[in-house]
Amino acid sequence: MRFFLDSANLDEITQAWNMGVIAGVTTNPTLVAKEGQDFIPLLRRIAAVVQGPISAEVIAIDHESMIREAKLLAELSPDIVIKIPLMDEGLRAMKTLSGIGIKTNATLIFTAAQALLAARAGAAFVSPFLGRLDDIGENGLLLLEDICEIFAVHKLETKVIAASIRHPVHVTEAAKIGADYATVPYPVLKQLGKHPLTERGIAQFLADWKSLEKQGEQKQI
């Protein structure tokens, strides 16, 4: 399983990219609105940092306008993937765009049937929202399991992105289930590398090394 960063914040994106662990970025209108910046120049700046898929969502809800917006966004960089909400017009748009070589990411997926429809419409990625299902008392990981199983049984090429990730357990479980990607918010990405025993171990190693230096037995490396 690879990682995407679920963010439109350029500092977070730059830091995560420099960490060397993300393969791309996903955004959505809510994340972009938080930045309070014009979408197109922001996407250009993100594309200058990230060499990998960058999901940018259309705002339109009818086929023609979705295609117009998608073409405009796709022109910005070959890395742009058009995020389209799961709805009838959206499925049509996925079909049209895959026909002209523009990749799409079907978003707001809450059932396995929606994921299957998107795959059949030619979506390159599907994004089941785990956390939002958990929020209403369902189990997002069970949905992810169903989608990965169906895609494997039917040998579908569409990649599965575990989205709406809230904590590290979502990440490890998604990896065990076989998701192709997990798109994680920056705080969760940072959390993934942390463990109190790792921090305590580093502090102990440093302290022991310093005591050796104090004894004069060890010169600076």
Could you list the residues that contact ligand G3P (CB under 6 A)? Answer: 6, 26, 28, 129, 131-132, 163-164, 183
What amino acid occupies position 13? I
Q: Which is nearer to ligand G3P, 124 or 163 (CB)?
A: 163
Q: How far, CA to CA in Å, does 76 sit from each of 46, 88, 163?
A: 11, 26, 24
Smallest separation, CB 215 to ligand G3P (Å):
52
Within 13 A of 162's CA, how many CA atoms are on the CB side?
34
- Closest residue to ligand G3P using C-beta atoms: 164
Q: Which is nearer to ligand G3P, 103 or 215 (CB)?
A: 103
Smallest separation, CB 176 to ligand G3P (Å):
19
Smallest separation, CB 210 to ligand G3P (Å):
43
Residue pair 4/24 in contact (Cβ under 8 Å)? The answer is yes
Residue pair 80/47 in contact (Cβ under 8 Å)? The answer is yes
Smallest separation, CB 14 to ligand G3P (Å):
19
Q: Kindly name the residue from 83, 95, 155, 210 that is annotated as catalytic.
A: 83
Q: How far apart are CA 61 and CA 208, in angstroms?
A: 62
196 burial level (CB within 10 Å; 0-12, 13-18, 19+): exposed
SS3 103: coil
Q: Which is nearer to ligand G3P, 142 or 203 (CB)?
A: 142
Q: Which is nearer to ligand G3P, 169 or 212 (CB)?
A: 169
Q: Phi and psi dihedrals of 46, rounded to 5?
A: -65, -45
Q: How far apart are CA 143 and CA 111, in angstroms?
A: 7
Smallest separation, CB 96 to ligand G3P (Å):
23
Q: Which is nearer to ligand G3P, 26 or 104 (CB)?
A: 26
Q: How far, CA to CA in Å, does 1 sit from each of 75, 86, 159, 160, 180?
A: 28, 24, 11, 10, 5
155 is catalytic: no
SS3 132: helix
Give the active site residues. Answer: 83
